[in-house]
Amino acid sequence: MKAARTRNLIGGIIAIAVSVVVFLIPFAFIVLTAFKTQQESALLEFSWPTEFAFFDNLVTVLQTRDYTVVRAFINSAIVTVASVGIMVVLAAMVGWVLQRRQSRWNGFINFLVLAGLIVPPAVVPTIFVMQQLGIFRSIPGLILIEVAFGMSFCILLFRAFAASIPRELDEAALIDGAGPLRLFFQVAFPLLRSVIVTVIVVQSVTVFNDFANPLYFAPGAENVTVQLTLYNFQSQFYTSWNLLFTDILLITIPPLIMYIFFNRQIVAGMTSGAIKG
Amino acid sequence: MSLDTADVRPRSQANTGTSRPPSQRRRTRQRRNQPYPGWFYAPAATIYGILFVVPTFASFYFAFTRWSFVETEFIGFDNFITFFSEPRLSRGFVNTFIYAVVTSGAKVAIGLALAILLTSGIFARGYLRAVVFFPVLVSTIGVGITFKILMDPFDGLINKALAVVGIQGPGWLTDPSLALLSVAAVDVWKGVGLATLIYIAGIVAIPSEYYEAARVDGASAWSTFRNITLPLVRPATVTVVILSLIGGLRTFDLIWAMTGGGPGFASDVIASTIYKQYAAGFYGLSTAGNVVLFLVVTAVVLPLYIFMNRKSKEL
């Protein structure tokens, strides 16, 4: 027993040492470089900054190109909130009805949902369709794209969770005279709360971190999102690593906050959703 | 999915005989479906249909055309012939497979090893789980740029560290034969946390009686792993393999942030050639690339999905 405990302790210490080298040093490198002055950051050394310039770096990054980072954060916030909000309501409706309703279409609908997870979106035809609708190069267009591409994952989670809500509750509500809308929004929706939180957290991180969709479907300076600023700064800050890493640090903070507060929901969502998929 | 009472009822009715005519059966089903109206699908289906389903079907037409949005000219299989005959495009096709196989293989092996380590009684489990998982949530572009700088052949931290122990590190991203694998390694670094979590969920679900029985029988650690853990985490393996294959075959962000497909086109994948052809204005060719990617993903994932699901049912 004692031998096992010593072994666990030694193994733990080795594992911690390895994890520090493999996982923490890259993050520490980001933070340290973001704190340095330009001359010092140019050396690309893993060292303690001799002079702390984080505040100056932050101001410079925010002001670059006429406050493009600030605009990007606003845009990303709008896209994330709006698309996740729409996704949750619409996907919950589909997941709920798909689990409850009996119909010969269910197989086909399940197939479409699964296809949404597997099939890569057809880029240029999507742009063409968006142009015809007049929503290409616009924030509303990007929101709808995120909804369309993220919906399948949400539906799978909602459908699985709806199965755990007893039908007796539906029947009780129906006997009390509730219509379909009341049944869904006042009985089912509140009961889906835990899975709603999971979906919101996981999809917020996904949409916030999305790079390819804004790149394709919302080009243009006024539509810029945070991931695109990072990509564009790569060439602009080619010699100012301190500024580039300040931007990386800024963009890493929102997911970090999500992770600290919603650790459990993120883990539950990513693993259960994955297994159901 | 769940087999709740209402799902079973109509089937048992059908078995007990023909006491009810089909029209009446349809009516009972209608009544039972009434609180769950079909129009609940409508808003989701509209968005999904217009922005996902229609473009997907349209891609099968536009892939056979020379296309400028304004006019289309049908040119048969020309785009596909170009795609497979020009090395700068066909290289991406091969690379996509290499990338997907390498990343999913590594995620299965490392993820399982980490999960076993983290479900043993090891010290500081909570910290280790958190640290391994965090990169999953970080922006792919941020990770890509950071590692691009860490992997710099001269000033990068990795090669500087190797130089301290007397090894001359290679040009991780500048050597054409190594660039793709370096990106794949970063992909594993970023994604292995998810694989680990899925495996942890799988291992925790194995009843501890099996391990007790094995201990009573005096099984070694290896044979316990080989005969209990490995077969019983099969559903988790299926999930990890399928998820990382889908992700790996469609990969774009990390390649684009780290190498842009370079040096030359040594680390191009299908998704990055789609973008390059689109940016160059070859819309038909880009769409053909999309169709190829669609076929690759379906051809790899669908049989695997069916095969592995059938296997896990047999157990």
B208-246 residue pLDDT tens: 889 889 889 888 888 888 888 888 888 888 889 988 999
Residue with tokens 């922006």: B139
Q: Give the residue among B132, B308, B148 at the shortest CA–CA distance from B235.
A: B308
Q: Give the residue among B306, B244, B297, B199 at the shortest CA–CA distance from B105.
A: B244
A23·B290 Cβ contact <8 A? no
Question: Residue B11: pLDDT band by 50, 70, 90 thresholds?
Answer: very low
Q: How does pLDDT run across B186-209, given as a tens digit for each residue?
A: 999 999 999 999 999 888 888 888
- The dihedrals phi and psi of B251, each to the nearest 5 degrees, come to -55, 140
Share of chain B above pLDDT 90, in %: 33
B69 part of a folded domain: no
Among the partner-chain residues B5, B142, B287, the one whose CB lies closest to the CB of A248 is B142
Chain A residues whose beta carbon lies within 8 Å of the beta carbon of residue B122: 8, 11-12, 15
Residue B72 pairs in a beta bridge with B67
Q: How does pLDDT run across B115-138, given as a tens digit for each residue?
A: 998 888 788 888 888 889 889 989
B39 part of a folded domain: yes
What's the longest Cα–Cα distance across chain B?
Answer: 86
Distance between A235 CA and the closest CA of chain B, angstroms: 11
pLDDT at B19: 55
Is the same domain home to B86 and B199?
A: yes
Is the same domain home to B111 and B47?
A: no
Distance between B43 CA and the closest CA of chain A, angstroms: 7
B302 part of a folded domain: yes
Is the same domain home to B46 and B119?
A: no
B40·A11 Cβ contact <8 A? no
Is the same domain home to B260 and B218?
A: yes
Is the same domain home to B107 and B48?
A: no
Chain A, chain B: beta-carbon pairs less than 8 Å apart:
266
Q: What is the mean pLDDT of residues A90-112?
A: 89
Query: Which CATH number covers residue B134?
Result: 1.10.3720.10
Three-state DSSP state, A203:
helix
Contact between B44 and A93 under an 8 Å Cβ cutoff? The reply is yes
Contact between B280 and B86 under an 8 Å Cβ cutoff? The reply is no
The structure tokens listed for B237 are 């393996």
Q: Give the residue among B186, B196, B190, B231 at the shortest CA–CA distance from B108.
A: B196
* CB contact set of A193 (below 8 Å; sequence gap of 6+): none
B68 part of a folded domain: no
Closest-CA residue of B relative to A114 is B302
Chain A residues whose beta carbon lies within 8 Å of the beta carbon of residue B246: 117-118
The structure tokens listed for B180 are 């793709």
| Distance of alpha carbon B108 from alpha carbon B102, whole angstroms | 10
Q: What is the mean pLDDT of residues A119-136?
A: 92
Q: How does pLDDT run across A2-12, given as a tens digit for each residue?
A: 777 788 888 88
Distance between A269 CA and the closest CA of chain B, angstroms: 11
**Taking the mean position of all CA atoms in its chain, how far away is CA A44?**
30
B window 142-181, beta carbon within 8 A of A: 142-143, 145-147, 149-150, 152, 155-157, 160
Positive or negative torsion for Cα B279, B284, B288, B291: positive
Q: What is the mean pLDDT of residues A104-108?
A: 87
Is the same domain home to B269 and B132?
A: yes
pLDDT at B99: 95
pLDDT at A36: 86
pLDDT at B13: 41
B73 part of a folded domain: no
| Distance of alpha carbon B202 from alpha carbon B231, whole angstroms | 11
| Distance of alpha carbon B63 from alpha carbon A118, whole angstroms | 20
Is the same domain home to B21 and B98?
A: no
- In chain B, the N- to C-terminal Cα span, in Å, equals 18
Range of the domain at B38: 2-63
Is the same domain home to B245 and B97?
A: yes
B180 part of a folded domain: yes
- B315 vs A85: which has the higher pLDDT: A85
> E-strand spans in chain B?
65-67, 72-74
Is the same domain home to B288 and B146?
A: yes
pLDDT at A17: 87
Question: Residue A57: pLDDT band by 50, 70, 90 thresholds?
Answer: confident
Q: What is the mean pLDDT of chain A?
A: 87
Q: What is the mean pLDDT of residues A161-179?
A: 86
Among the partner-chain residues B40, B43, B149, the one whose CB lies closest to the CB of A44 is B149
| Distance of alpha carbon A106 from alpha carbon A103, whole angstroms | 6
Closest-CA residue of B relative to A234 is B145
**Taking the mean position of all CA atoms in its chain, how far away is CA B167?**
35
Q: How many CB atoms lie within 10 A of CB B94?
A: 14
Question: Residue B7: pLDDT band by 50, 70, 90 thresholds?
Answer: very low
Contacts by residues A28-32 (CB-CB < 8 Å, ≥ 24 positions apart): A29/A245, A29/B146, A29/B150, A29/B157, A30/A245, A30/A248, A30/A249, A30/A252, A30/B142, A30/B146, A31/A245, A31/A249
Question: Residue B313: pLDDT band by 50, 70, 90 thresholds?
Answer: low
Contact between B44 and A151 under an 8 Å Cβ cutoff? The reply is yes
The structure tokens listed for B218 are 């005096």
- A180 vs B103: which has the higher pLDDT: B103
Distance between A66 CA and the closest CA of chain B, angstroms: 22
Q: Does B5 touch chain A (CB under 8 A)?
A: yes
Chain B residues whose beta carbon lies within 8 Å of the beta carbon of residue A125: 54-56, 58-59, 62, 287, 290
A11·B53 Cβ contact <8 A? no
pLDDT at B121: 77
Region of residue A165 (phi > 0: left; psi between -120 and 50: alpha; otherwise: beta):
beta
B253·A212 Cβ contact <8 A? yes
Contact between B127 and B118 under an 8 Å Cβ cutoff? The reply is no
Q: How many domains does chain B have?
A: 2
The structure tokens listed for A58 are 């932050």
* One-letter amino acid of B61: Y
CA count, 13 A, side-chain hemisphere, A16: 12
- Helices assigned H by DSSP within chain A: 2-19, 25-35, 38-42, 54-100, 106-118, 123-133, 139-162, 167-175, 180-182, 189-191, 193-209, 212-217, 226-236, 241-276
pTM equals 0.87
Q: Does B185 touch chain A (CB under 8 A)?
A: no
Q: What is the mean pLDDT of residues A32-40?
A: 85
Range among A154-163, A178-187, A207-216, B29-38 rated most confident: A207-216
Among the partner-chain residues B131, B142, B155, the one whose CB lies closest to the CB of A24 is B131
B280 part of a folded domain: yes
- Mutate one of A29, A40, A109, A118 to test the B interface: name it (highest B CB count within 10 A): A118
pLDDT at B205: 85
B120 part of a folded domain: yes
Is the same domain home to B43 and B114?
A: no
Is the same domain home to B122 and B209?
A: yes
The structure tokens listed for B30 are 């209608």
Is the same domain home to B18 and B50?
A: yes
Three-state DSSP state, B77:
coil
Distance between B87 CA and the closest CA of chain A, angstroms: 22
